[in-house]
């Protein structure tokens, strides 16, 4: 009887399937989570680009837009996150003015978390570093006294004060608090973020 039982292969396929099933499920769920994460990254990039593009098309760079105007644009940019929830996002738009070949002065900034106004990551009146290749020669201001415009905080003879000359840039940012549909260990929730620099299209 034992010999007959040892030769019996009628349940082999079921046992093999039970052994392989966890691996197959792991591959399926892992592929799904990776695809969903990449989808979220693309949506975040699109929302940052949309925000910068809307402002570049509608706000003259020499003016400071109202809070309500910027809120409208941030709300519109959040729509590109669909099907991801806008409530889990933070949007920011910053107006910059170039002060040398690698830096710009923050003219204004606005941000909102979900639908609530929040504190921007950039502070108005500060100088930030701009990625290489973003600033072209015609955008760089010069001071008659030969000083670096970024360092000129007060007016003086033959001196150009930062924020009063130079080309303009817009910086659109989007951050999304992403929650994978299936979590593995420490992958509970993390930030997916991107930012886009853009030159204003209005004079």
The helix or strand, by DSSP H or E, that contains position 26, with its residue range, turns out to be helix 12-58
- What pLDDT is recorded for position 26? 72
Asked if 149 and 115 count as a contact pair (C-beta separation under 8 A), the reply is no
Strand duo 116-118 + 89-100: pairing: unpaired
**Residue 75 Cα distances to 27, 69, 172, 174, angstroms:** 37, 10, 13, 12
- What pLDDT is recorded for position 154? 87
pTM for the structure as a whole: 0.82
- What pLDDT is recorded for position 12? 67
Q: Which residues of the chain have pLDDT under 50?
A: 5
What residues does each domain of the chain span?
12-198
- What pLDDT is recorded for position 197? 96
> Tens digit of pLDDT for each residue in 35-79?
888 899 999 999 999 999 999 999 998 899 999 999 999 999 999
Distance CA 152, CA 159 (A): 7
- What pLDDT is recorded for position 183? 64
Two structure tokens written together for 52: 């910068």
- What pLDDT is recorded for position 129? 96
């Amino acid at each position: 009887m034992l010999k007959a039982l040892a030769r019996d292969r009628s349940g082999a396929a079921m046992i093999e399937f039970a052994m392989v099933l966890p691996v197959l499920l792991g591959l399926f769920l892992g592929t799904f989570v990776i695809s969903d994460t990449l989808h979220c990254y693309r949506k975040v990039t699109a929302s940052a680009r949309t925000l910068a593009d809307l402002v570049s098309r509608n706000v003259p760079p020499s003016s400071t837009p109202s809070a309500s105007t910027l809120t409208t644009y941030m709300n519109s940019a959040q729509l590109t996150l669909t099907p991801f929830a806008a409530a889990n996002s933070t949007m920011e738009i910053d107006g910059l003015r170039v002060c040398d070949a690698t830096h710009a002065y923050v003219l204004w900034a606005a941000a909102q978390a979900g639908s609530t106004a929040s504190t921007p990551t950039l502070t108005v009146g500060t100088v930030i570093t701009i990625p290489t290749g973003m600033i072209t020669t015609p955008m760089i201001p010069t001071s008659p006294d030969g000083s670096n415009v970024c360092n000129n905080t007060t007016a003086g003879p033959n001196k150009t004060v930062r924020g009063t000359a130079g080309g303009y840039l817009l910086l659109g940012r989007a951050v999304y608090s992403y929650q994978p549909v299936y979590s593995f260990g420490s992958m509970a929730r993390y930030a997916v973020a991107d930012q886009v620099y853009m030159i204003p299209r209005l004079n």
